[in-house]
Structure 1
Amino acid sequence: MSDAVPEGWRRKRIGELVTLQYGKSPKDIISADGRYPIIGTGGVAGYTDSFLHEGNTTVVGRKGTIDKPSYVEGKFWAIDTTYYGSDYKGAEPKWFYYNLSAVDLRKHNEASGVPSLGRDTLYAITMLTPPLPEQQKIATILSSVDDVIDKTHAQIDKLKDLKTGMMQELLTQGIGHTEFKDSPVGRVPASWEITRLGAIVEAGELQTGPFGSQLHSYDYVDRGIPVVMPKDMKAGRIVTTSIAEVSTEKANELNRHRLKAGDLIFARRGDIGRFALVDAKNAGWLNGTGCLRARLSTSADPEYVACYLTLSIVVDWLNTNAVGQTMLNLNTSILSELPVVLPPKDEQSAISRAIKSVDQRITVLSGKLRSTEKLKKALMQDLLAGQVRVNVDQKESEVA
């Protein structure tokens, strides 16, 4: 933030704005059925029927996590590794919370081991302080953005729960069945085929990625053909945040390891059960060292099989059958024997479409969440520094 002080504002020390009180140990007052939250350095740490303070205020870590302030309303208990604010002097508590959240408190750490933040150190930190009505307006605007963020988080969580329940039901009960039989994943419709992964993979297309002797550290370039490693698999898809790349020439040497849309790639060691479905945008990339690739036959819908692979009983089977003591490993022989229950192709597609529709709603809401969080960050930078001044007489527009 700029060092300039906006007109009508003052630069004040935290010690001029609030009194920081020491929290107390909760060991004698914890109650599983308590009415009031116990606030620790990372947020709610339990509940109690006693309270240490009543009022809207900020709790900030004194030891341990010192850079995650919490805003608390009503009655609460603050543990002994925290401070909580009281006796605000010309400061709106919610505005103070947002302002403190914008401070990099790690820079004020006073310990070489467990992070520690002295009260005098906190008191000496300065804040650009507008008149109280302007503070209240700023807090109202930022709170409205937080409301949208909280509601979006709740919607995403609800959809994730819906997806989990839907997958468990559709992947074991199917659509409209009345007769069932036993299978490696429990009771499934009697008409479903019980097979194994190797039987639904094209001939010769269950492969290990290139060996280390085929792909060296000096083969990687800044821009080229992406090489998918286990670290690049997240939630059944390929993420490119830190994906490595090789030159087109090197990729051509490894042509047999090229990926096609619909391929499934698996982590070969370590985090057994991690996998990704290759999308059309990933086609032509390379299956990397540390991965196994399965190219399914036309009898299997890749989206359905990807959903099936997330079942806990499937992940448990992979971990149970993996080999190795220090680090678990999969190979093509083990993966080939993975039990798979396979509905008719049209039912596979119907199941995967239903689950994908929920995924798409989650994706849309996740995009909205990221945009709103960026908006909040920008607003905090502008409003708390006075770069954008608020009109205290004007109602804020709804953020959505």
Structure 2
Amino acid sequence: MTATPPRWSSVSLGDICEFKYGKSLPAGSRDGGPFSVYGSNGPVGGHSSALTDGTAIIIGRKGSFGEVHYSSEACWPIDTTYFIDRGATSVDLKWLSHLLPTLGLTKMNRAAAIPGLNRDDAYAKRVMLPPIAQQKRIAAVLDQVETLRAKRREAIALLDELVRSTFLDMFGTLQQDWRKVHVADLAVSEKGGMRTGPFGSQLLREEFTDEGISVLGIDNAVKNEFRWGERRYISEEKYQELSRYTVHPGDLLITIMGTCGRSAVVPDDIPVSINTKHLCCITLDRTKCLPEFLHSYFLEHPESRSYLSKVAKGAIMSGLNMGLIKALPVRLPPLEVQQKYVRRVAGIRKSRMLHEKYLATLDELSESLQRRAFAGRLWDHEAA
């Protein structure tokens, strides 16, 4: 058992801070002033006056409950939030802003009808309280790591915008001599060129295994790039039954259930895998269309966005299905123009992958430092 560091104490969160209630400020009443207006998801506008006494921590109460945001200046948290300002605590606010996200506040919902965070549940959490000087030291260390993470995220966002602007520069203006086709015309002619995964009793949850053939789902495409999320497998025997749903390198995945309208290109090093019913998988005829082009077209082209907004229902495209995707119109440039685009963005995407790799390393470092910091083990050598 790890000994409590000298002059640290175990306390309840409610002993060291108060979650104050935010105050309603409808969008029509916000005048765009210099003070940020915060909702559960973060800043949602500006106003000419503030509710907090200077620097504040904002915690989602409803909606994105338990989410934590830090404002270095006075602000106006609305009524879907709690807030902590200097009048609500005697601890270092920056230290507290790093501590709160580690307490699992986003999992504390107990309301069946309207999910939300009850502050009494948060108050009951036990935390280790260091002296104020160590609070400031811990906050300074975690701030440095967070600054590095923020710079990586900013770089990734800039690279994403560069890919987007490159695409729109090349293809955003319709070329009348480029023939107009539909996505269904671009798939390979063999049966199953466009497909969704197995339905109903074809694949039951209890048939998933701890290892074997990978099964791809929404989480693999939800970030608009291929990522390994939750790993799911089926046995080799089950795969033989479902082999017609095999995913191939370069296939285009589009989410059609849950969070719909997201897309990713399957990487070249994909192991043998199938897709679930939540994905539309397209194997393209690459003598007509390159997957990297169609991926960008689906996400960025004004004509594609206009079509999807008309045919899909709701803000998250809840009405998207394979039939709608097949009918999506594409103004198809010559293959050599598509190849030119792919070459242009290849270096950008490579740079982005490096930033993602460095960010993942920083994320791991941040988690490790948080665990040590809030357990009083960040400077073990000083206690020896």
> Into which bin does the TM-score normalised by the smaller protein fall?
0.7 to 0.9
Inter-partner Cα distance in structure 1 for 2:253 and 2:28: 51
User: Is the Cα–Cα contact under 8 Å of residues 269 and 330 in structure 1 kept in the other structure?
Assistant: no
Aligned residues: CA RMSD:
4.2
Bigger radius of gyration among the two: 1
Inter-partner Cα distance in structure 2 for 1:51 and 1:210: 52
After TM superposition, list the pairs within 5 Å mapping 1:17-36 onto structure 2: 17-18=16-17, 23-26=22-25, 30-36=29-35
Give the SS at the match of 2:75. Answer: strand
User: Is the Cα–Cα contact under 8 Å of residues 224 and 248 in structure 1 kept in the other structure?
Assistant: yes
Distance 1:389 1:292, change over 3 A: closer
Q: What residue number does 1:154 align with?
A: 154
Q: Percent identity?
A: 23
Inter-partner Cα distance in structure 2 for 1:110 and 1:337: 44
Q: What residue number does 2:235 align with?
A: 247
Given the alignment, which residue of 188, 207, 225 partners 2:175? Answer: 188
Inter-partner Cα distance in structure 2 for 1:318 and 1:63: 30
Counterpart check, 1:168 vs 2:168: yes
Superposed CA deviations along residues 62-81 of structure 1, whole A, max 9, x for unmatched, are 66665233333232234455
Give the SS at the match of 1:188. Answer: coil
TM-score, structure 2 normalization: 0.75
Letter in 1 for 2:268: A
CA drift of 1:235 comes to: 5.0
After TM superposition, list the pairs within 5 Å mapping 1:195-234 onto structure 2: 195-197=181-183, 200-204=186-190, 206-208=193-195, 212=199, 215-217=202-204, 220-228=208-216, 232-234=220-222
Inter-partner Cα distance in structure 1 for 2:275 and 2:255: 11
TM-score, structure 1 normalization: 0.73
Inter-partner Cα distance in structure 2 for 1:168 and 1:356: 16
Superposed CA deviations along residues 276-305 of structure 1, whole A, max 9, x for unmatched, are 433322364345556454341434433333
CA drift of 1:140 comes to: 0.7
Distance 1:293 1:150, change over 3 A: closer
Unaligned runs of 5+ in 2: 313-317
After TM superposition, list the pairs within 5 Å mapping 1:177-326 onto structure 2: 187-188=174-175, 190=177, 192-197=178-183, 200-204=186-190, 206-208=193-195, 212=199, 215-217=202-204, 220-228=208-216, 232-235=220-223, 237-242=225-230, 244-264=232-252, 275-282=263-270, 284-286=272-274, 289=277, 291=280, 293-310=282-299, 311-314=301-304, 316-317=306-307
Q: What residue number does 2:6 align with?
A: 7
Letter in 2 for 1:155: A
Inter-partner Cα distance in structure 2 for 1:337 and 1:42: 35
Distance 1:58 1:309, change over 3 A: closer
CA drift of 1:7 comes to: 1.7
CA drift of 1:142 comes to: 0.9
Counterpart check, 1:92 vs 2:81: no
Q: What residue number does 2:48 align with?
A: 49
Which stretch has the larger CA shift, 300-309 or 143-152? 300-309
Distance 1:14 1:229, change over 3 A: closer
Letter in 2 for 1:215: Q
Which stretch has the larger CA shift, 356-365 or 222-231? 222-231
Inter-partner Cα distance in structure 2 for 1:292 and 1:242: 19
Superposed CA deviations along residues 141-161 of structure 1, whole A, max 9, x for unmatched, are 111112122222222222222
User: Is the Cα–Cα contact under 8 Å of residues 215 and 233 in structure 2 kept in the other structure?
Assistant: yes
Letter in 2 for 1:330: M
User: Is the Cα–Cα contact under 8 Å of residues 184 and 194 in structure 2 kept in the other structure?
Assistant: no
Distance 1:356 1:6, change over 3 A: same
After TM superposition, list the pairs within 5 Å mapping 1:327-338 onto structure 2: 329-331=321-323, 338=328
Inter-partner Cα distance in structure 1 for 2:132 and 2:197: 64
Inter-partner Cα distance in structure 2 for 1:288 and 1:78: 41
User: Is the Cα–Cα contact under 8 Å of residues 30 and 46 in structure 1 kept in the other structure?
Assistant: no
User: Is the Cα–Cα contact under 8 Å of residues 226 and 246 in structure 1 kept in the other structure?
Assistant: yes
Return the structure number with greater strand share.
Answer: 1
CA drift of 1:94 comes to: 1.4
Given the alignment, which residue of 331, 336, 342 partners 1:352? Answer: 342
Superposed CA deviations along residues 37-91 of structure 1, whole A, max 9, x for unmatched, are 2344443343222223333343445666652333332322344552423357763
User: Is the Cα–Cα contact under 8 Å of residues 15 and 124 in structure 1 kept in the other structure?
Assistant: yes
Give the SS at the match of 1:7. Answer: coil
User: Is the Cα–Cα contact under 8 Å of residues 78 and 84 in structure 1 kept in the other structure?
Assistant: no
CA drift of 1:137 comes to: 1.1
Which stretch has the larger CA shift, 362-371 or 312-321? 312-321
Inter-partner Cα distance in structure 1 for 2:272 and 2:11: 58
Give the SS at the match of 1:143. Answer: helix
Unaligned runs of 5+ in 1: 174-186, 393-400
Distance 1:36 1:226, change over 3 A: same
Give aligned pairs, total: 372
Q: What residue number does 2:365 align with?
A: 375
Letter in 2 for 1:358: I
